[in-house]
């Protein structure tokens, strides 16, 4: 799911799949219903079932979400900002589906991880997505050191995210803590109207004016 116009981010075939589904597991019911309406105005939302799967869901409540499968019906999974199960809820549900031997069909859609990597100019032969950096300052600086090591020793591009209101602080921190020649790519508002992907050495970020606060951004490091 994404706020961008559906035809800019999803293949037409996804809409056909959506039309064929009656049961949805979603991160947020209100926005999922709105998204489905945007996919197909004629969709009869009230004939569909919705169950919430988010970070507050108890693991023991997940298996029952697949009960339509027992009756031979499919279940669609929709998450808020990216691809379900990739830095977004869904993986636990898919794990249960795999354990039961159900067919799992991933749908093509925008992943800010892959889109930012494509546009960064960094190594795409090996890369790691690290999620959020640790908050604790000791663990955080150990993580930065380890990412620096993997960039050098393995040529592995390192990708991570930050709570959006801390984006500017993170860039300043990276510029202070890591070698000036190391490159940082900041990819912000991916698939949104203000999309930008900028790769520069940390020495240049140190001098540059920027304001990414509150804009969903993803960060990539490479030498």
Which residues lie near a second copy (CB under 8 A)? 5, 7-13, 83-88, 90-92, 94-99, 103-106, 108-111, 113-131, 156, 185, 190-191, 195-200
Q: Which two tokens stand for residue 99?
A: 């354990």
Quick one: DSSP state of residue 101?
A: T
Distance of closest approach, residue 47 Cβ to a second copy, in angstroms: 26
Supply the minimum distance, in Å, between the C-beta of residue 126 and a second copy: 5
Nearer to a second copy, 45 or 142 (CB): 142
**C-beta closer to a second copy: residue 110 or 182:** 110
Contacts of 172 (CB under 8 A, 6+ apart): none
Give 100's DSSP letter: T
CB count within 10 Å of CB 45 equals: 12
Closest separation in Å from C-beta 168 to a second copy: 21
Question: Toward a second copy, which CB reaches closer, 47 or 207?
Answer: 207
Residue 210: exposed, middle, or buried by beta-carbon count in 10 A (0-12, 13-18, 19+)?
middle
Cα–Cα–Cα angle for 208, 221, 197, nearest 5°? Answer: 55
SS3 93: helix
25 vs 185, beta carbon nearer a second copy: 185
| Residue number, 5 or 179, with CB nearest to a second copy | 5
Nearest approach, Cβ of residue 46 and a second copy (Å): 28
Instruction: Please report how close the Cβ of residue 121 comes to a second copy at its closest, in angstroms.
Output: 3
- Contact call for residues 79 and 88 (beta carbons, < 8 A): yes
């Amino acid at each position: 799911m994404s706020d961008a116009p559906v035809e800019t981010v999803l293949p037409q075939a996804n809409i056909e799949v959506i039309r064929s589904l009656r049961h949805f597991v979603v991160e947020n019911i209100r926005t999922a219903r709105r998204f489905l309406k945007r996919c197909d105005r004629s969709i009869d939302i009230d004939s569909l079932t919705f169950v919430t799967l988010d970070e507050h869901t108890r693991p023991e409540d997940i298996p029952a979400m697949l009960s339509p499968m027992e009756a031979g019906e499919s279940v669609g999974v929709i998450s808020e900002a990216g691809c379900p199960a990739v830095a977004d809820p869904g993986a636990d549900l898919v794990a249960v589906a795999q354990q039961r031997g159900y067919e799992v069909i991933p749908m093509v859609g925008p992943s800010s991880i892959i889109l930012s990597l494509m546009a960064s100019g960094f190594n795409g032969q090996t890369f790691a997505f690290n999620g959020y950096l640790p908050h604790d300052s000791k663990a955080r600086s150990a993580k930065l050191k380890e990412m620096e090591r993997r960039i050098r020793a393995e040529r592995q591009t390192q990708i991570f995210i930050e709570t959006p209101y801390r984006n500017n602080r993170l860039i300043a921190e990276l510029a202070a803590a890591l070698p000036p020649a190391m490159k940082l790519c900041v990819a912000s508002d991916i698939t949104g109207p203000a999309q930008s992907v900028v790769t520069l050495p940390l020495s240049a970020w140190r001098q540059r004016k920027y304001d990414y606060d509150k804009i969903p951004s993803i960060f990539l490091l490479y030498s």
